[in-house]
Amino acid sequence: MKKSLEIYQVDVFTDERFNGNPATVVWDSESLSKDLMLKLAQEFNNSETVFACFNKNNTLVLRYFTPTQEIDFCGHATIAAAIVFVKRLGSRSSIEFLTNSGPLTIHLKDGKYYYGPYEARTDEIIDGRMKEELLGVLNLSSKDLHSKYPMQIVKSVSNKLLIFLKTRKSVFGFFPNFTKLKEFSIHYNLPPVFLFSVKKDVTNLKCYGRMFAPTLGIDEDPVNGNSCITMAEYLFTHNVVEHTLFFNTPVQCIQGKLTGREGTVFIDVKEVNKQLKVSIGGTGVIVFKTKVKI
């Protein structure tokens, strides 16, 4: 007997359809094999598809797939699942999920869905020949970089290689060679790359970013939330932003301009025992709902 799956397309980190980062949510997926989940993710062809089903403890279990593989966690797909949860079961102040990375709580605050808090730590600095080679692959110049800040891997729920650029124009003014970037990342065993710039004033802190992950089948992710966890730690560790401003000013990261799917990530930062705690938030909208028989 064929089963009918409920499928939702959700645009996350935006209030407008056809913007932000799209994710597919497959509801009531407990009978699906891993192989079938991957085939469905390939068919939907979003950067991530999340499969949701309740376990015997009535906790919603989430599994995440890119078009090429299963991954442990995806922030925007989690927000998408929370939006579908609220649509089906009603709003509440928090929602409990279980993922391959462990338990996860989504908090609803000021109309936004927040996950976290997470910690991160700065790690290996990329320098010398590797740095120059990466700049060439990205079609960037050393003149685009903030010379006093390193190109550095930051580890968290999702590791990233961070590159701090001088201006918003620099962030949106280049086009990488994704084939070479994939080969380079595999050769050096590097995580996805996140490039960003910062604009600050006394009332607001805006960042502009782009995330590349060709080894995961994602050349450029329209809007990536987990990158902002690592970016916040980088800004904190290297004192890019005065800490009093950092903790008392709204922090946003605008992404997706060149993909035609602009969206905004909201970043909530706190310091606990000299350790940064970062939560990531956003809005979202259901674009459509359909059914697929399998």
| pLDDT tens string 33-49 | 999 999 999 999 998 99
Q: Could you say which of 3.30.360.10, 3.10.310.10, 3.40.630.30, 3.90.1150.10 is the CATH number of the domain covering 118-280?
A: 3.10.310.10
Q: pLDDT band at residue 207, thresholds of 50, 70 and 90?
A: very high
Q: Is the pLDDT of residue 1 over 70?
A: no
The predicted-structure confidence for 154-189, as pLDDT tens digits, reads as follows: 999 899 999 999 999 999 999 999 999 999 999 999
Q: Residues 55-64: what's their mean pLDDT?
A: 96
The predicted-structure confidence for 231-241, as pLDDT tens digits, reads as follows: 999 999 999 98
The predicted-structure confidence for 104-139, as pLDDT tens digits, reads as follows: 999 999 999 999 999 999 999 999 999 999 999 999
**Predicted local distance difference test score (pLDDT) of residue 103:** 95
Q: Break the chain into its structural domains and give their ranges.
A: 4-116+284-293, 118-280
Q: Is the pLDDT of residue 202 over 80?
A: no
Q: Is the pLDDT of residue 217 over 90?
A: no
**Predicted local distance difference test score (pLDDT) of residue 3:** 85
Distance of CA 119 to the CA centre of its chain: 15
Q: Is the pLDDT of residue 11 over 80?
A: yes
**Predicted local distance difference test score (pLDDT) of residue 2:** 77
Which residues are the active-site residues?
Answer: 48
Q: Is the pLDDT of residue 225 over 80?
A: yes
Reported pTM = 0.92
Q: pLDDT band at residue 200, thresholds of 50, 70 and 90?
A: confident
**Predicted local distance difference test score (pLDDT) of residue 204:** 82
Q: Is the pLDDT of residue 192 over 80?
A: yes
Provide the residue count of the chain: 294
Which tokens go with 166? 């001088």
**CATH code of the domain occupying 4-116+284-293:** 3.10.310.10
Q: What percent of the chain has pLDDT over 70?
A: 99
Q: What percent of the chain has pLDDT over 90?
A: 88
The predicted-structure confidence for 238-260, as pLDDT tens digits, reads as follows: 999 888 888 888 899 999 999 99
- Which residues have a Cβ under 8 Å from the Cβ of 172 and sit 6 or more positions away? 208, 210, 257, 258
147 compared with 26, residue with greater pLDDT: 26
Same fold, 4-116+284-293 and 118-280: yes
**Predicted local distance difference test score (pLDDT) of residue 264:** 98
Q: How far apart (Å, rounded) are the C-alpha atoms in residues 131 and 152?
A: 10
